[in-house]
Amino acid sequence: MDKTIGVTAVTDAAQIPTQRREPLLDSAVRYAEERHWDVFPGTWLEVLGGREHCSCERADCPAPGAHPTRPDWAAQATGSGVAARRLWSKQPRASILLPTGRTFDAVDVPESAGFLALARMERMEMTLGPVTRAPDRRMLFFVLPGGSVKVDGLVRTLGWSAPAIDLTTRGEGEFVAAPPTRVGGLGAVQWARRPTPANRWLPDVEELISPLAYACGRDAAAARAPGR
């Protein structure tokens, strides 16, 4: 086992600063124009009585400020910068949501496992796409669309069960929240690995699944250890 992995992961985590919050409208337009990602506006946060509440007005909202506002959200998503500007001009506080299963899928792992895997993959000079760091301490690795349906089988081949090691995916019919979307009471989604011209071409999930599953398996084993 490489004993430097955990140290590197912690160091990398500490090196990601709180990122400057670009206006939501500008971010949504940039994702559509520069990355050709479909975007659609979600709910937003409102302050009532000194506390943040989701615009959906549900007291038990599971994702305050970061979920679709309508059931036909998939049809509302647009890859046009002009359309994105129009949508966010109507509601500048709306969260930025990206449908998965179109231009990318996402592998969703615990943050501790994500940093461990990210450090290992960077050291191995693997091809990586963008990676988000959500305020609920999850990380999402962007991969080629269609990857989500392969994951369970790939993880089983490596000797694990994806649910048992807390490794999940986002694929067709699902979505992710993009920076700088804020989730009520938790903070903002950030980039752990920003979209750049160098990572425009996404990896296949098969290329990343081994280090991701290893890191998640190590996390799960540590959580089950006596005294935890």
Read off the pLDDT of residues 164-191 as tens digits, 9 standing for 90 and up.
Answer: 999 999 999 999 999 999 998 789 999 9
C-alpha–C-alpha distance, residues 110 and 112, integer Å: 6
**In the chain, what percentage of residues exceed pLDDT 70?**
89
Does residue 111 surpass a pLDDT of 70? yes
pLDDT value for 107: 98
Q: Which helix (H) or strand (E) holds 52?
A: strand 51-54
Q: Tell whether the model's pLDDT for residue 118 goes beyond 80.
A: yes
Has residue 206 got a pLDDT over 90? Answer: yes
CA dist., res. 223 & res. 228, Å (int): 6
Written as six digits, the tokens of 146 are 């269609």
State the pLDDT at residue 1: 37
* Res. 70 pLDDT band, cuts 50 70 90: very high
Average pLDDT value over all residues in the chain: 90
Q: Tell me: the pLDDT tens digits for 126-172?
A: 999 999 999 999 999 999 999 999 999 999 999 999 999 999 999 99
**Could you tell me the pLDDT band of residue 44, with boundaries at 50, 70 and 90?**
very high
Average pLDDT (86-90) is 97
- What was the pLDDT predicted at 22? 78
Sheet strands (E) in 55-104 = 96-99
**Contact present, 113 and 218 (Cβ < 8 Å):** yes
- Peptide bond just before 145 cis, omega within 30 deg: no
The string of pLDDT tens digits covering residues 6-20 is 433 333 333 444 445
Instruction: Tell me the pLDDT band of 86, cut-offs 50, 70 and 90.
Output: very high
Residue 91 above 50 pLDDT?
yes
Looking at residue 227, its pLDDT comes to 61
* b/e per residue 80-89 (b: at least 16 CB within 10 A): ebebbeebbe
